[in-house]
Chain A
Amino acid sequence: MTSNPVLEIKHIKKYFKISKGWFAEKKYVKAVDDVSFSIEKGRTASIVGESGCGKSTLARLVNGLIEADSGEIVFKGNDLTHKNEAVWRTFRQPMQMIFQDPYASLSPQMKIKDLVAEPLLIHYPKMSKAEIEKIVKETLDICGIGSQHLSKYPHQFSGGQRQRIGIARALVLRPELVILDEPVSALDVSVQAQILNLLKDLQEKFDLTYLFISHDLSVIDHISDDVAVMYLGNIVEISSRDTLFESPKHPYTQALLSSVPDKDPKLKRERIILKGEIPNAANPPSGCKFHTRCPFAMNVCKEVAPVMQTLDNGTQVACHLYQENQS
């Protein structure tokens, strides 16, 4: 594999302070705790995990909407960690974000053409009006919004259409990396498929790199090249899509995959049902954070946090089960 990562994340951490008052004991939620991964150009890397595992925080960290506590964000060879808003702004053209809720992510009192033209106005202040209009029309057309809708307001559109407008808004700048934070989870299943197919077409057309965040494994299966599984702020397994879905390694990944309904209802399957709830992120378990719910938990899991290691089939996994096998 030739290594040409568009985005590299190294040991990134974000803790949110939850204690209030000056004298209270300092408490933190470790929303993202030592996460590393990289995305190759033209590929779709997905991050999957249940709600509250820190995947949306990760998306906002990568996009610079919130500042990381430590670690490195390297975008096209530029270290963007701890840079101020002005530096980030220069990278907002090649790095775009699409949000989960298409109802809330469009400024309600602006017309569609102004919404889509706005990124151009910001990044290319010298561009002529006619040129802007041409690009806006073209981009909206690619995203499936006809030019007869240019003067409408967001509330006049359905959820799927609004998400198309959100996509057009991101694509009008012709970015290289697009961060998609649960782009389809607010939509109907039938519309989800349309949007996912649109995203795939656009990726091919514009040679885009996607960082795709979702909790929905069937969506992940549909769109990803590589998948990272997150649990309580850690990545527990990284693998290519096919390897992950065929032979999941980490017990959490196995449990997640077994929860996906199968196409054949008669097929007898082993379902791994996890005990209990996801632990409180403010007070995570010691050692491996998953040991409280893991069916294979050993003594060592309670004490030592497992390190990420690469297996023979290329899967990276953080689990003591495999650490033993190797040593």
Chain B
Amino acid sequence: MSETQITTDQTQFVETKQDSNFKRLLRSFKKNKLALYSLYVIILLLLIVIFGPWITPYDPQEANYDSILEAPSWQHLAGTDEFGKDVLSRLIVGARLSLGVGVSAVLLGAVAGTILGLISGFFGKWVDRVIMRICDILFAFPDLVLAIAMVAILGPGMKNVIIAIAFFSTPSFARIVRGETLEIKERLFIEAERSIGAKKSRIILRHVFPQTISTIIVYITMNIGGAIISAASLSFLGLGASPSSPEWGAMLSASRDYIGHAFHLIFFPGLAVFITVLVLNLFGDGLRDVLDPKTRD
């Protein structure tokens, strides 16, 4: 009657198995359907970004004066604009511009903000005070106003829009990374690293930074949506992409004169921005539940 055997072998190792982040991501996303569907849409968007120019039904730049301002039909699923260009084709090509601006601006801001945040949090004292006060000053301006000012200084154009958006997203990354760094810095393994003789640069790069990555990734996904809106807003105001380019904000801007009799001109670019931002935020939410150590179980 000895069904249970107790092994007292000391060399037997207890496996406190914990799944990798990726497995937990999949498991959590199975429960969080919204995040999962958002992921599907994001993958679709990425495919559009990559294969855009080859899958458009019409040439997005080809004007056709026989069919201007046509309402959506089976021939032109999203209608045509004031030059007779196919709106759907322009949206598909424009995805590359709009998403590209959002992603690159946020990545740029994240890199700058992470470096500042790590330095600020780790070294503390006056370094921290100087960096954080500069961030406070930047926080005091509304994002868009700051971006407009930047573009006004640098001059209009997509490259400067990216710089402007990166500029105003830097302080929020700096602050988040600084907060994490302050917390990690006090943990015992950092002291253990010092006691084996590790230099500060090594501790920051090898031991503090890896701990902040998951938070940064979450924050990047959450911020891309906002950056796309900002880029579209700047284009709408005529400060970003040139009005003839198929960037979504520029499309909205160019078609505002026709709202009265061609709703589709403003509806479809708006919808594209809306869906992109929505799925990015939902996905970011789901990602945070998995990756952010603070919300983790």
Contact = CB atoms under 8 A, between A and B. Distances in A.
Contacts, number: 74
A104 B188 contact: yes
Interface in A239-287: none
Given A155-B16, A156-B15, 11 more contacts: A60-B191, A65-B191, A92-B195, A92-B197, A96-B195, A97-B192, A122-B199, A123-B197, A157-B16, A158-B14, A161-B14
B193 interface: yes
A97 B193 CA distance: 10
B211 interface: yes
B202 interface: yes
Contacts of B187: 104
A156 B192 contact: no
B193 to A, nearest CB: 7
A173 interface: yes
Interface string B172-201: 000000000000000111011111111100
Contacts of A149: 13
Nearest to B196: A119
B196 A109 contact: no
Contact of A122 (B14, B18, B202, B211): B202
A93 interface: yes
Contacts of A108: 189, 211
Contact of B196 (A101, A104, A122): A122
A289 interface: no
Contact of B198 (A99, A106, A122, A194): A122
Given A105-B189, A105-B192, A108-B189, A122 B197 contact: yes
Given A157-B16, A158-B16, A119 B197 contact: yes
Interface residues of B, number: 25
Contacts of A104: 187-189
B18 A93 contact: no
Contacts of A105: 188-189, 191-192
B7 interface: no
Nearest to A175: B196
B207 interface: yes
Contact of A89 (B13, B18, B199): B199
Interface in B190-226: 191-199, 202, 206-207, 210-211
25 contacts: A63-B195, A65-B194, A65-B195, A88-B197, A92-B195, A93-B197, A96-B196, A99-B188, A104-B188, A105-B189, A105-B191, A106-B192, A107-B192, A107-B207, A110-B207, A118-B198, A123-B197, A144-B11, A146-B11, A156-B15, A156-B16, A156-B18, A169-B192, A169-B196, A173-B196
A97 B14 CA distance: 26
Interface string B4-24: 000000110111111000000
Contacts of A123: 197
A97 B192 CA distance: 8
Given A97-B192, A104-B188, A156 B197 contact: no
A285 B23 CA distance: 58
A164 to B, nearest CB: 11
A155 B188 contact: no
Contacts of B195: 63, 65, 92, 96-97
Contacts of B207: 107, 110
B189 A109 contact: no
A194 B8 CA distance: 14
Q: Which of B187, B191, B210 has the most CB of A within 10 A?
A: B191
A171 to B, nearest CB: 11
Interface string A128-156: 00000000000000001010010000011
Contacts of B191: 60, 65, 99, 105
A106 B197 contact: no
Interface in B1-46: 10-11, 13-18
A119 B198 CA distance: 8
Contacts of B206: 107, 110
B281 to A, nearest CB: 27
Nearest to B20: A153
A101 B187 CA distance: 11
A169 B189 CA distance: 12
